[in-house]
């Protein structure tokens, strides 16, 4: 038995070496395939879109003042000033207005109380990068509230 063991051990060892070499070969093949796939995906990435976000204002029906949630956000609102909705979109403000009215991703205040867009108030807030549009929306809402307007939206 003692003489058989070393021979068997040598056979097993040579098989293991071949298997290890084969494993390394398969591993390298997979790594190369994954690297090729990553390169291919990198090439397919879309170019950065041009800034296309807009901040918009919508005049709301004065009945929106009855909503307690909004009253808390607008404690200093002047009853003689307009009720406004401040929003941000990657669509055109006109398209977003129609979507709100059609109840597509609609704010309840806008859907139920929206009267008309006020594009003349936000002419300079078109074609912004997303991050700037988000900031501009919140900043505009804050400014309008400070001036006594009753404001919904402006997250």
Q: How far is Cα 88 from Cα 57, in angstroms, rounded to an integer?
A: 9
pLDDT at position 16, please?
A: 56
Give pLDDT, residue 139. Answer: 93
Contact (Cβ atoms closer than 8 angstroms) between residue 75 and residue 68? no
Residue 138 is predicted with a pLDDT of 93
**pTM for this entry:** 0.67
Tell me the domain boundaries of the chain: 1-45, 54-153
From first to last of its 155 residues, what are the pLDDT tens digits of the chain? 555 556 655 565 555 555 666 667 767 777 777 787 777 665 556 667 788 899 999 999 999 999 999 999 999 999 999 999 999 999 999 999 888 888 888 888 888 899 999 999 988 888 999 999 999 999 999 999 999 999 998 87
Question: What pLDDT, on a 0 to 100 scale, did the predictor assign at position 70?
Answer: 92
Q: How far apart are CA 45 and CA 35, in angstroms?
A: 16
Tell me which DSSP letter residue 79 carries. Answer: T
Neighbours of 64 (CB within 10 A): 21
């Amino acid at each position: 038995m003692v003489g058989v063991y070393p021979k068997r051990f040598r056979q097993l060892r040579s098989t293991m070496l071949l298997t290890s070499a084969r494993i390394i070969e398969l591993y390298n093949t997979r790594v190369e395939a994954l690297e090729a796939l990553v390169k291919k995906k990198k090439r397919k990435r879309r170019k950065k879109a041009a800034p296309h976000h807009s901040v918009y204002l919508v005049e709301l029906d004065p009945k929106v003042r009855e909503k307690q949630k909004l009253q808390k956000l607008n404690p200093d609102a002047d009853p003689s000033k307009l009720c406004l909705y401040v929003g941000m979109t990657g669509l055109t403000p006109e398209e977003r207005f129609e979507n709100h009215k059609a109840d597509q991703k609609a704010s309840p205040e806008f859907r139920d109380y929206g009267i008309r867009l006020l594009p003349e108030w936000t002419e300079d807030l078109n074609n912004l990068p997303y991050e700037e549009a988000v900031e501009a929306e919140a900043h505009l809402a804050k400014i309008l509230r400070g001036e006594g307007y009753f404001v919904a939206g402006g997250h």
